[in-house]
């Protein structure tokens, strides 16, 4: 409870300070003048109230129902630029937009009917945010307008008051907290006229739905997860009964406050040890009649095998009614023997269910309206069921039991019966071919499959049940002339066609028109491209439109049409929906990027369009080109800037073309810049790079003309003066550059590395290590072309005469620094 108590304390502060936080300043307090063309407020809240609460509550005088925007400037206008729930007049007064409905019995109109007196007149509004744009002397300011429902605020404040008086700081146990939550709606009378928490609190009465709504809202304000629960299957519950589920501190609770009577009414709170609801069966096992949890589309609904020591054997009829039907997979234990009628009906997102070998009975429509369920996993030895191509069968595949999601069923070989309700409510179905082996189609087999237009029945001696094709209003049955299929079609007012007559599909010339057929019907709702005799034709509303000229979008591309036919030989520029598109071989591809030559102009094609606003680099097979206003600039040379997804940065161009393949240094008004082999300025590059004027020290992409010392590239380390490599310098020279601090032996401007030696400058003779650097920490013997020398602290000591023993025990006679 510590976490909840801290949260409740926070709520108490909100309740005490509510008016200060959510009530905007009054209009008269916002009158201070703003300098220049400015508005004073940029965020306001207005409160509305439906006329259904007239005479019961009223918006307090200190809450704004309209607002005067104050703006300074000589030319001011006000416009609602987002939202449809407010108005603003030319003086800047913002008001809530109310909708008036005139009720005549149970039918409402937005206008009064002449010579009739309405039963009631209702004014309502939409809560939510809107935006007013104020333009003052050309300067625009957006003001957010929060339209709030005062009735909801009133009800929330009452709940917060109850929380502060009965829950906050009471140190309640979890169960005591649940009972306090349930007790609040029970403090109102039962009344059938109100079904939400707002109306219950305002009018003082409500039904079980209102009580549940109040519980859920109280939990929301406490930061507790809660949701509604279908209670009409519980023992003794009335039709449409509703109560609440609450999840708190790792436990689930069922809260009830929807009993009839006057206040204070009975309420209860029960901790749940399962989110499933069970009934005891006569054989001592359990049936499941409902699931009260919350699921998402990726979850698995895991049916338990046991509960409180009893075996679960049955999924009851209409288990799905009142259950959360959002899940991806349904898993049944191997204890289930019966799946009831319409048990999982409406689990529209479920894609898979297992049918264990224990299942002996599946009720009618058990999987109706499961429009994604194409995977029946019939597991276990001796299973009574089998599946194939998204259809559930009897184990011998003689009876098709359910195909809730297939759109063109492929029946198993030898199937002879389609069970009652097998494909009912499957709105995915578009075409059905029933094989000759089928002799029986039971009641409602294709009930309400209203998308089906053509059913072919190959058998002749068929027994039909009742309502087999109920509400398949556009259906044509194809069968053998004189067969039971024709008889059934005639008796039930269904169109019939001879099975020997091939269905029309494709383009057919009929008189002066070319019509596009799909399964014997002119596809009057279809506009598309259709291939016929090697050409592509533009079909509009089921017929070729020979007057069509221009571009048409098909399969993600735009196709160039002349006289109703795609012209695959045309390469041109075509205007379409406000843009110029580049057509190549009859197609304008929205993914196409290129630089093209058209009428001696080189133009940038961006996403298939001639982009006259494009400035930057675009590419084709010949190179990368600098464009201005969509056209290649062949007179451009030097560094240019490009800002697009493919080419973002500064590039070196000559005659409009990006110069690639060799690093160099190029000058512009801002400096000298390193150009990589991709032709682009690399602002992170540190190197030594050449151009026609010399070799240059580059730091962060720019020549550092202040650099005096050593800089490096892949070819070596180079001595620079004023940022330029001095190839004429030689000797032992000092460097204080980054990474090269010390004295180095230089020849032809390059640090000499790889062999230790002794070299002279005006300060003496110095020991040079293999890194080309004077090592002031070295003492010992070293040689050069002039002899072998005694070194102390990196320098030949010409003042020393005597002996020196090296690390190998060799003894040298030293005379004036020279070792023999």
Q: How would DSSP label each residue in 411-476? A: PPTT--EE-TTTTTT-TT--EEEE-TT--EE-TTTTTT-TT--EEEE--SS-EE-TTTTTT-TT-E
Domain 172-264, what fold?
Answer: C8orf32 fold (3.10.620)
- With bands split at pLDDT 50, 70 and 90, how would you rate the model's confidence at 21? very low
Asked whether the beta carbons of 186 and 261 are under 8 A apart, the reply is no
Structure tokens at 218: 């109280």
pLDDT digits (tens, 9 = 90+) for 408-422: 899 999 999 999 999
Ordered strands of the 476-479 beta sheet: 431-434, 454-457, 476-479, 495-498
Asked whether the beta carbons of 102 and 92 are under 8 A apart, the reply is no
Question: Measured between alpha carbons, how far apart are the two ends of the chain, in Å?
Answer: 92
Asked whether the beta carbons of 818 and 788 are under 8 A apart, the reply is yes
| pLDDT number for residue 33 | 32
Mean pLDDT confidence for 237-260: 92
| pLDDT number for residue 13 | 46
Name the residue among 699, 693, 706, 645 with its Cα closest to residue 666.
693
pLDDT over 90 at 525, yes or no: no
| pLDDT number for residue 210 | 96
pLDDT over 50 at 325, yes or no: yes
| pLDDT number for residue 45 | 96
Architecture in CATH for domain 35-150: Sandwich (2.60)
pLDDT digits (tens, 9 = 90+) for 183-229: 999 999 999 999 999 999 999 999 999 999 999 999 999 999 999 99
- Alpha carbon distance 97, 132 (integer Å): 14
pLDDT over 50 at 478, yes or no: yes
Architecture in CATH for domain 605-705: Ribbon (2.10)
- With bands split at pLDDT 50, 70 and 90, how would you rate the model's confidence at 598? confident
Residues forming a β-bridge with 759 = 766
| pLDDT number for residue 26 | 40
| pLDDT-above-70 percentage for the chain | 95
| pLDDT number for residue 416 | 96
Q: Can you say whether the dihedral through the CA atoms of 183, 188, 193, 195 is positive or negative?
A: negative
- Alpha carbon distance 376, 392 (integer Å): 7
pLDDT digits (tens, 9 = 90+) for 667-726: 999 999 999 999 999 999 999 999 999 999 999 999 999 999 999 999 999 999 999 999
| pLDDT number for residue 2 | 45
Verdict on whether the full-model pTM lies above 0.75: no
35-150 and 605-705 in the same fold: no
pLDDT digits (tens, 9 = 90+) for 37-65: 455 568 999 999 999 999 999 999 999 99
pLDDT over 60 at 15, yes or no: no
The pair phi, psi for residue 276, each rounded to 5°, is: -95, 150
Please give the class, per CATH, of domain 506-588. Answer: mainly beta
- With bands split at pLDDT 50, 70 and 90, how would you rate the model's confidence at 20? very low
Structure tokens at 331: 């898993």
Instruction: Find out whether the peptide bond into 783 is cis, omega within 30 degrees of 0.
Output: no
| pLDDT number for residue 246 | 98
Most confident of 236-250, 390-404, 575-589: 390-404
Structure tokens at 236: 């003794």
CA distances from 393 to 277, 355, 370 (A): 29, 11, 16
pLDDT digits (tens, 9 = 90+) for 716-743: 999 999 999 999 999 999 999 999 999 9
- Alpha carbon distance 552, 568 (integer Å): 13
pLDDT digits (tens, 9 = 90+) for 754-789: 999 999 999 999 999 999 999 999 999 999 999 999
| pLDDT number for residue 16 | 42
Please give the class, per CATH, of domain 753-819. Answer: mainly beta
| pLDDT-above-90 percentage for the chain | 80
Q: Does 239 or 659 have the greater pLDDT score?
A: 659
Name the residue among 496, 440, 442 with its Cα closest to residue 469.
442
pLDDT over 50 at 29, yes or no: no
Average pLDDT over the chain reads 91
Asked whether the beta carbons of 125 and 85 are under 8 A apart, the reply is yes
Architecture in CATH for domain 275-383: Alpha-Beta Horseshoe (3.80)
Q: Domain limits of the chain?
A: 35-150, 172-264, 275-383, 506-588, 605-705, 753-819
pLDDT over 80 at 644, yes or no: yes
Name the residue among 365, 302, 293 with its Cα closest to residue 328.
302
Residues forming a β-bridge with 710 = 719
């Amino acid at each position: 409870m510590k976490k909840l108590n801290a949260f409740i304390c926070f709520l108490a502060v909100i309740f005490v300070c509510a008016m200060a936080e959510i009530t905007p300043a009054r209009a008269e307090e916002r009158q201070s003048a703003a300098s220049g063309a400015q508005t004073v407020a940029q965020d306001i809240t207005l409160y509305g109230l439906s006329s259904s609460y007239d005479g019961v509550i009223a918006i307090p005088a200190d809450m704004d129902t309209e607002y005067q925007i104050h703006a300074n400037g000589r030319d001011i206008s006000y416009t609602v630029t987002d939202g449809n729930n407010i108005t603003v007049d030319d003086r800047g007064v913002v008001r809530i937009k109310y909708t008036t409905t005139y009720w005549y019995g149970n039918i409402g109109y937005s206008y009064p009917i002449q010579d009739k007196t309405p039963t009631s007149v209702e004014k309502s509004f939409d809560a939510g945010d809107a935006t007013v744009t104020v333009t003052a002397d050309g300067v625009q300011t957006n003001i957010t307008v929060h339209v709030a429902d005062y009735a909801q605020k009133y009800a929330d404040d009452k709940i917060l008051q109850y929380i502060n008086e009965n829950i906050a700081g009471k140190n309640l146990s979890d169960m005591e907290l649940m009972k306090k939550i349930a007790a609040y709606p029970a403090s109102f009378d039962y009344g059938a006229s109100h079904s939400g928490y707002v109306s219950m609190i305002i009018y003082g009465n409500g039904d079980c739905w209102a009580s549940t709504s109040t519980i859920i809202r109280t939990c929301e304000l406490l930061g507790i997860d809660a949701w509604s629960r279908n209670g009409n299957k519980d023992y003794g519950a009335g039709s449409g009964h509703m109560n609440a589920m609450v999840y708190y501190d790792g436990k689930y609770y069922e809260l009830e406050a929807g009993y009839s009577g006057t206040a204070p009414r009975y309420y209860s709170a029960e901790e749940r040890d399962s989110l499933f609801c069970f009934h005891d069966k006569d054989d001592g096992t359990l049936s499941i009649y409902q699931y009260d949890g919350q699921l998402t589309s990726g979850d698995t609904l895991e049916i338990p095998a046991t509960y409180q020591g009893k075996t679960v054997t049955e999924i009851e009829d209409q288990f799905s009614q009142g259950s959360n039907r959002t899940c991806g997979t349904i898993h049944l234990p191997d204890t289930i023997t019966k799946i009831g009628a319409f048990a999982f009906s409406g689990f529209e997102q479920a894609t898979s269910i297992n049918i264990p070998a224990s299942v002996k009975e599946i009720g009618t429509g058990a999987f109706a309206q499961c429009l994604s369920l194409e995977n029946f996993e019939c597991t276990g030895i001796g299973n009574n069921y089998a599946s194939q191509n998204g259809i559930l069968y009897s184990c011998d595949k003689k009876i098709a039991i359910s195909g809730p999601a297939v759109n063109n069923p492929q029946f198993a070989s030898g199937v002879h019966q389609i069970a009652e309700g097998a494909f009912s409510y499957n709105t995915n179905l578009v075409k059905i071919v029933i094989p000759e082996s089928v002799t029986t189609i039971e009641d409602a087999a294709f009930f309400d499959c209203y998308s089906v237009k053509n059913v072919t029945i190959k058998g002749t001696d068929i027994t039909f049940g009742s309502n087999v094709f109920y509400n398949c209003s556009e259906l044509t049955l194809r069968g053998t002339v004189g067969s039971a299929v024709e008889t059934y079609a005639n008796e039930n007012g269904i169109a019939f066609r001879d099975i020997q007559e091939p269905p029309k599909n494709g383009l057919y010339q009929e008189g002066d028109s070319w019509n596009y057929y799909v399964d014997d019907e002119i596809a009057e709702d279809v506009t598309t491209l259709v291939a016929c005799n090697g050409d592509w034709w533009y079909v509009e509303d089921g017929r070729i439109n020979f007057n069509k000229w221009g571009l048409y979008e098909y399969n993600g591309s735009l196709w160039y049409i002349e006289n109703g036919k795609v012209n695959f030989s045309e390469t041109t520029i075509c205007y379409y929906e406000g843009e110029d598109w580049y057509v190549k071989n009859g197609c304008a591809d929205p993914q196409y990027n290129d630089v093209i030559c058209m009428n001696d102009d080189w133009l940038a094609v961006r996403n298939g369009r001639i982009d006259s606003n494009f400035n930057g680099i675009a590419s084709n097979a010949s190179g990368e080109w600098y464009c201005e206003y969509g056209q290649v600039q062949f007179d451009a040379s030097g560094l240019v800037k490009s800002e697009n997804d493919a080419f973002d940065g500064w590039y070196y161009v000559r005659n409009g073309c990006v110069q690639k393949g060799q690093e160099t240094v190029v000058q512009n008004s801002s400096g000298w810049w390193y150009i990589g082999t991709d032709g682009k300025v690399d602002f992170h590059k540190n190197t030594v790079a050449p151009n026609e004027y010399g070799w240059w020290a580059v730091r962060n992409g720019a020549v550092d003309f202040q650099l005096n010392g050593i800089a490096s590239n892949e070819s070596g380390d180079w001595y620079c003066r004023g940022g330029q490599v001095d190839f004429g310098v030689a000797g032992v020279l000092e460097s204080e550059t980054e990474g090269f601090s010390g004295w180095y032996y230089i020849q032809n401007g390059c640090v000499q590395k790889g062999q230790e030696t002794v070299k002279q400058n005006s300060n003496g003779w110095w020991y040079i290590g293999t890194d080309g650097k004077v090592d002031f920490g070295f003492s010992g013997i070293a040689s050069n072309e002039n002899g072998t020398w005694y070194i102390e602290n990196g320098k030949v000591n010409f003042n020393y005469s005597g002996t020196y023993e090296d690390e190998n025990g060799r003894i040298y006679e030293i005379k004036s620094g020279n070792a023999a």
